[in-house]
Amino acid sequence: MTMGKLRYMVVVERGETSWGAHVPDLPGCVAVGESRSEVLELIRQAIEFHIDGLKQDGLPVPTPSSEGDFVEIGAA
């Protein structure tokens, strides 16, 4: 049996001195990096680690369900 791939939405935020990322479908799964590309690699690793931990604890792995989009508004 081969495992299919899961695709989780990641929220990426730019801070004053670093980048952060979190996964709405995996509460507590977060990462911080010095660049956008670094934080994306770190959150990928964090997701894998998080899911492995859930499996080891006999807990269900949440199905990806979050979606993201941008909404454009006039200048404030």
Helix, strand or coil for residue 32? strand
At 26-54, the pLDDT tens digits run: 999 999 999 999 999 999 999 999 999 99
Which pLDDT score is estimated for 4? 76
Q: Token digits for 13?
A: 């935020």
Q: Which helix (H) or strand (E) holds 42?
A: helix 36-56
pTM: 0.85
Distance of CA 58 to the CA centre of its chain: 21
**Mean pLDDT of the 12-38 span:** 97
At 67-76, the pLDDT tens digits run: 999 999 998 7
What is the rounded radius of gyration, in angstroms, for the C-alpha atoms of the chain?
Answer: 15
Report which DSSP code applies to 44: H
Decide if pLDDT at 22 tops 50.
Answer: yes
